[in-house]
């Protein structure tokens, strides 16, 4: 299904992409399995902890139905390390020319982060049409994304940052939004306690948010 995954196709795999912070690599496999069982196969593991790369390796090797990627790609080396760990895609909070080149060099689909029309246009010049909109709520939310639809009709977004189960449907209703990123799927206490049933239930609720 994902052998020839593109960034644009990535936006259509699930309505919500869990944005996951993993402190203990031992939790990675059961956490990913719970998300997949709930109907969310695309999982973004943020490179914010020392355990992140090991977590990606374990998910890639042991949860075959998961499409695991790396988020918080902020340096060129992050892109290379994430690819080596088995990431299927990359996500960055922003983008510079050097980071764009590094992510392109991995051969993986990637969602570079933007928060303005100018940033989106700079990436569009390189043929990049699938973007992360971050930080979504702080940068203008659904009203801002709706306004970008007119001048940039060929660009689609995965908004992330401050999105909740209540606001997600409003984002998903926009024609230039393919999916949203959310951190509410994996509450820290549920991960710490190994409450995979709770995480599976949250994933199932999110999977049902697709409005079209």
Catalytic residues, by residue number, are 44, 132
DSSP string of 141-207?
HHHHHHHHHTT-TT-EEEEBSS--TTTHHHHHTSTTB--EEESTTS-HHHHHHT-HHHHHHHHHHHH
Provide the 10 A C-beta neighbour count for residue 15.
Answer: 25
For the chain, the farthest-separated pair of C-alpha atoms sits apart, in whole angstroms, at: 47
> Cα–Cα distance between 104 and 110 in angstroms, integer?
8
Q: Among all chains, which residue has been given the structure tokens 């990606």?
A: 56
């Amino acid at each position: 299904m994902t052998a020839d995954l593109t960034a644009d196709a990535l936006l259509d795999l699930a309505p919500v992409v869990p944005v996951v912070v993993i402190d203990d690599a031992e939790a990675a496999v059961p956490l990913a399995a719970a998300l997949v069982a709930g109907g969310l196969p695309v999982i973004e593991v943020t490179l914010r902890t020392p355990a992140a790369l090991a977590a990606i390796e374990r998910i890639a090797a042991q949860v075959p139905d998961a499409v695991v990627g790396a988020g918080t790609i902020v340096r060129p080396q992050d892109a290379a390390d994430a690819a080596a760990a088995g990431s299927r895609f990359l996500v960055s909070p922003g983008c510079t020319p050097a980071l764009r080149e590094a992510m392109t060099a991995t051969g993986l689909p990637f969602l570079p982060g933007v928060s303005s029309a100018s940033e989106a246009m700079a990436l569009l010049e390189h043929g990049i049409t699938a973007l992360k909109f971050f930080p979504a709520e702080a940068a203008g939310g659904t009203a801002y994304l709706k306004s970008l639809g007119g001048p940039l009709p060929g660009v689609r977004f995965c908004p992330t940052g401050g999105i909740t189960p209540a606001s997600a449907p409003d984002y998903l209703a926009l024609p230039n939004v393919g999916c949203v990123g959310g951190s509410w799927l994996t509450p820290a206490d549920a991960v710490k306690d190994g409450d995979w049933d709770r995480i599976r239930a949250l994933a199932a609720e999110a999977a049902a948010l697709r409005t079209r």
